[in-house]
Amino acid sequence: MKNPINTGGITYPLAVLLCLIAYVLGHQTASPARNIAFAEKGAVLLEAALDRPNRTEQQMKTEIAAPIRAVLRRYQELGYVVIDASRNDDGDMTIAAIPANAVDITNELRAAVNLQQQPAATLAPAPGAHEGVAREQRTE
């Protein structure tokens, strides 16, 4: 009986070994993703707007939108990809496929519009997740 798959003159165990070596080397030499930041921009905008109820639209743009755009622009110029995230009612933040070295810039946005700082986010992989979902654990 002929083999239905031709390996080009090498044995199957050698072909499997070469594939395994390529897989391992690929994972060891791959560099982690860099320059990723995330922020709760929507929550900061809403809180800042509610904190200043008697402002005109132009004052809101000057006091809230412009400083937030300045922070985002600064990170963009530094080469960061900024992900706009949000929290659920329990305070948990879910972002799909974010690397552990991502930078949380929410407090910088809060400082730009003169709001009180919050505890920094700490990322941990979701239970059972292989590659992807990171969830912020509240640090209260």
Q: Which residue is associated with the tokens 């904190």? A: 51
pTM above 0.85, yes or no: no
For tokens 């755009």, the residue is 69
- The per-residue pLDDT for range 42-101, each reduced to its tens digit, is 888 888 989 988 889 899 889 998 998 898 888 888 888 887 777 777 777 666 556 667
| Tens-place pLDDT, residues 4-15 | 566 567 788 888
Q: What is the model's pLDDT at position 86?
A: 74
Selection from 94, 96, 103 nearest residue 74 by Cα: 103
CA distance 123 to 110: 20
Residue 58 region by backbone torsions, left for phi larger than 0, else alpha for psi between -120 and 50, else beta: alpha
- 116 has a pLDDT exceeding 60: yes
Provide CB contacts within 8 A for 19, sequence distance 6+.
none
Whether the predicted pLDDT of 106 surpasses 60: yes
Is 118:110 a contact under the CB 8 Å cutoff? yes
Residue listed under structure tokens 């110029």: 77
Task: Please give the angle made by the CA atoms of 29, 30 and 36, to the nearest 5 degrees.
Answer: 145
The mean pLDDT value for 34-47 works out to 83
pLDDT at 135: 37
pLDDT, position 4: 56
Does 39 or 66 have the greater pLDDT score? Answer: 66
Look at 123 and 99; give whichever has higher pLDDT.
99
Q: How far is CA 123 from the centre of its chain?
A: 9
Per-domain residue ranges for the chain? 36-136
pLDDT for 129 beyond 50: no
